[in-house]
A and B are shown apart, each in its own frame.
Chain A
Amino acid sequence: DTEVTQTPKHLVMGMTNKKSLKCEQHMGHRAMYWYKQKAKKPPELMFVYSYEKLSINESVPSRFSPECPNSSLLNLHLHALQPEDSALYLCASSPSLAQGYEQYFGPGTRLTVT
């Protein structure tokens, strides 16, 4: 099984809402990532978890809150978002954080903030 799954596929939320994005992998990977991708731009790294601990936070605003409940799951909690946060949110996983390990991406959640 080389699949990373993400739910929901699409999400529309108001600026006062609280919602969560979910990511799951069953490949035994110990590193998991959140990326944000705007139209016609490359993915931008947001957070990295390694062995269920937050390893990298790319100075992301606190309205985005990541959580790694176990080695297979990664959540991204959203609160008080702005319209400019509308984007495709991608989850990825890799066997390890070390160099040389390829990342596998999920299909993404397309988020629209109204």
Chain B
Amino acid sequence: QKEVEQNSGPLSVPEGAIASLNCTYSDRGSQSFFWYRQYSGKSPELIMFIYSNGDKEDGRFTAQLNKASQYVSLLIRDSQPSDSATYLCAPVGGNEKLTFGTGTRLTIIP
């Protein structure tokens, strides 16, 4: 089992719709969870982080965490073409290392 699993996609979503990105992790020691966005040829950019079970909202982005199920997700509302990128889920493990998932490639269709 991979440490961090994401659906690699590509995930195609119409402009204005909700994009839902999912991530499962194996390290029960993980307490902090980060979502990074990476445009092609660019470096990862932090967009959300969450520490507590439940939802956390920031603008059009909502992160959801369920530690019992070892599941974290990212919802993007009112998707825009500029949201087209690869989204990397990154839990911080009990060893304090950030472990990136393989990423989900999201394409917003105008």
Binding site for B on A (CB under 8 A): 41-43, 45, 48, 56, 88, 90, 97-100, 102-108
Contacts and interface: CB of A to CB of B under 8 A. Distances in A.
Nearest to B29: A99
Contact of A103 (B46, B51, B101): B46
B92 A100 contact: yes
Q: Is the interface of B mostly helix, strand, loop or mixed?
A: loop
Interface residues of B, number: 21
Given A99-B31, A100-B32, A100-B51, A56 B43 contact: no
Contacts of A99: 31-32, 92, 96
Nearest to B101: A42
Contacts of B101: 42
Contact of A42 (B45, B92, B102): B102
Given A99-B31, A100-B31, A100-B92, A105 B44 contact: yes
Nearest to B8: A40
Interface of B: 31-32, 34, 36, 42-46, 49, 51, 88, 92, 96-103
A42 B100 contact: yes
Contacts of A42: 88, 100-103
A79 to B, nearest CB: 25
